[in-house]
Amino acid sequence: MGSVLVVCYCLNPAVVTSLVSVVSFIVPEQFGPLSFFSSLLCQTGWTVCLSGRGARGIPFICEGLGLKMSQRCTLSVTDPRDGKRVALKKMPNVFQNLVSCKRVFRELKMLCFFKHDNVLSALDILQPPQIDCFEEIYVITELMQSDLHKVIVSPQPLSTDHIKVFLYQILRGLKYLHSAGILHRDIKPGNLLVNSNCVLKICDFGLARVEEMDESRHMTQEVVTQYYRAPEILMGSRHYSSAIDIWSVGCIFAELLGRRILFQAQSPIQQLDLITDLLGTPPLSAMMSACEGARAHVLRGPHKPPSLSVLYMLSEGATHEAVHLLCRMLVFDPAKRISGRDALSHPYLDEGRLRYHTCMCRCCFSVASGRVYTREFEPNANGRFDDQYERNLSSVWQVKELIHRFITEQQQGKRVPLCINPQSAAFKTFIR
């Protein structure tokens, strides 16, 4: 066995702090000297360098300074088992309190549950150290070059074809999540990863949860980045459904068309005001679940007529078909808002579906006589995500043991495990 030490450093000395995080992969002998590890550049501008000895004793030189890995930092690394570039995501400070470890456990379980091309899933989880030293979790996922936020703010032109194929994939991924009974609860452009082929994957399940069927049970309102937050959450509704994710998609659709945030407010109240400016004052029936104060705020103001025609001015791509679908997503009353499944059958998305399944998907394939299409263009999940295990979680130590066992079980017999090893010889050489 040889070990390799990965150190993160940044080229900007202004942000250099002390080394706090070192990742060391243990690599089995048969993979030989790890020369492809010489220098890697990751997404966020961090450079990853290596130190240590490869399997056949070839030393690696470590350059640069140690740097604090940001919260939930994702690094681009090379998997030493097959040489493929993958993303390594660090989940730090997992075991600070019961709430944070339950949330991380849920996210881990979801990442291992997902099997859909438009939803990010875990390719692997690095083997945890002994439970006494177990503080951080590292997940390996597919590497995606960018996200929709970066695309929208970039100068790169976005054609109608781009918008259609992005929107199709967002809804295709959401339909899958909703069919598993999962609400994402933080759909925003930054959580929609894209690669250079325009394949899109929904990521970040830190706020995701299983849909609550019992309307008497309260759900937290501390969800969804404000600009993409559905009116029922802004109005303090104690119970909400998958319709909150569709509202966020509507906001993103408008943002793709107009290249600017649709409802960019300074506060939740102003957020609600901007929404009613566009949609008009909602009828009382659309505010049934709202809290008293929010309802009073809306009714106190002047009666506003809807001004949806301004959506045609978002861009040239805001055709009648586009605005029609957009207006079905941006419906104030969640009960009347279009579902992901119904949105996918809107004619606006026909071209996106065709493009995706002609040259981007992994569910269809080409033969000499043409393309063989899958039977189900937008598949549901194989059953609902089961969160019953959460009912019996009562202490940090208990969840820690369960997560430890879960990760170990995930790996059994599948692939040669990779692990974090801060006590490795490479680490000691480095700190000397």
**Known catalytic residues?**
186
User: Measured from the CB of residue 401, what is the shortest distance to Zn ion in angstroms?
Assistant: 41
Task: Pick the stretch among 35-43, 328-336, 370-378, 384-392 that binds Zn ion (CB under 5 A).
Answer: 370-378
Binding status of residue 363 toward Zn ion by CB under 5 A? yes
Work out how close the CB of 64 gets to Zn ion at its nearest, in angstroms, rounded to a whole number.
43
In the numeric block, which tokens belong to residue 265?
A: 């407010």
Residues 240 and 297: beta-carbon distance below 8 Å: no
CB 339 → Zn ion: shortest distance, Å? 22
Tokens of 362: 């992994």
Q: Give alpha helix (H) positions in 28-159.
A: 98-113, 148-153
Report the residue number whose CB is nearest to Zn ion.
361
Interface with Zn ion includes 355 (CB under 5 A)?
Answer: no
Nearer residue to Zn ion within complex by CB, 60 or 356: 356
The binding track of 303-342 with respect to Zn ion, each residue x by CB under 5 A or -, is ----------------------------------------
The nearer residue to Zn ion, 265 or 363, going by C-beta atoms, is 363
CA–centroid distance for 420 within its chain: 24
Interaction of residue 374 with Zn ion, rule CB under 5 A: yes
Look at the alpha carbons of 388, 393, 399, 402 in this order and tell me if their dihedral is positive or negative: negative
Return the half-sphere exposure (C-beta side, CA atoms, 13 A cut-off) of residue 333: 10
Contacts with Zn ion by CB under 5 A: the residue count is: 5
User: What whole-number distance in Å separates Cα of residue 136 and Cα of residue 132?
Assistant: 12
Of 265, 274, 364, 416, the one binding Zn ion by CB under 5 A? 364
Residue 344 found at the interface with Zn ion (CB under 5 A): no
Report the C-alpha gap between 34 and 52 in whole angstroms.
Answer: 10
Lookup: tokens for 38: 């010489």
Where in 220-279 is the site for Zn ion (CB under 5 A)? Answer: none
CA end-to-end span of the chain, whole Å? 22
Total H helices, total E strands in the chain: 12, 16
Q: How far is the CB of 364 from Zn ion (least distance, A)?
A: 3
Residue placing its CB nearer to Zn ion in the complex, 249 or 361: 361
Q: Give Cα 108 to chain centroid, integer Å.
A: 12
Touching Zn ion, residues 192-221 (CB under 5 A): none
Closest separation in Å from C-beta 363 to Zn ion: 4
**Least distance to Zn ion, CB of residue 249, Å:** 21
Q: Which is nearer to Zn ion, 363 or 393 (CB)?
A: 363
Which pair of structure tokens corresponds to residue 201? 């994957």
Nearer to Zn ion, 210 or 364 (CB): 364
Among candidates 109, 181, 85, which has minimal Cα distance to 393? 109
Is residue 248 a contact partner of residue 230, using CB atoms and an 8 Å limit?
yes
Residue nearer to Zn ion on the CB measure, 265 or 364:
364
The one among 357, 360, 384, 387 contacting Zn ion by CB under 5 A: 357
Measure the CA–CA gap between 391 and 411, rounded to whole angstroms. Answer: 25
Q: Which stretch binds Zn ion (CB under 5 A): 111-119, 269-277, 283-291, 353-361?
A: 353-361
Among 143, 338, 361, 407, which residue interacts with Zn ion (rule: CB under 5 A)? 361
- Contact criterion met (CB below 8 Å) for 129 and 400: no
Residues near 279 by beta carbon (within 8 Å), at least 6 away in sequence: 306, 308, 330, 331, 332
CB nearer Zn ion, residue 304 or residue 357: 357
In the bound complex, what is the minimum distance in angstroms from residue 340's beta carbon to Zn ion?
A: 18
| 365, HSE (Cβ side, Cα atoms, 13 Å) | 1
354 near Zn ion (CB under 5 A): no
Strand ordering across the sheet containing 137-142: 74-78, 85-91, 137-142, 122-125
Residues that bind Zn ion (CB under 5 A): 357, 361, 363-364, 374
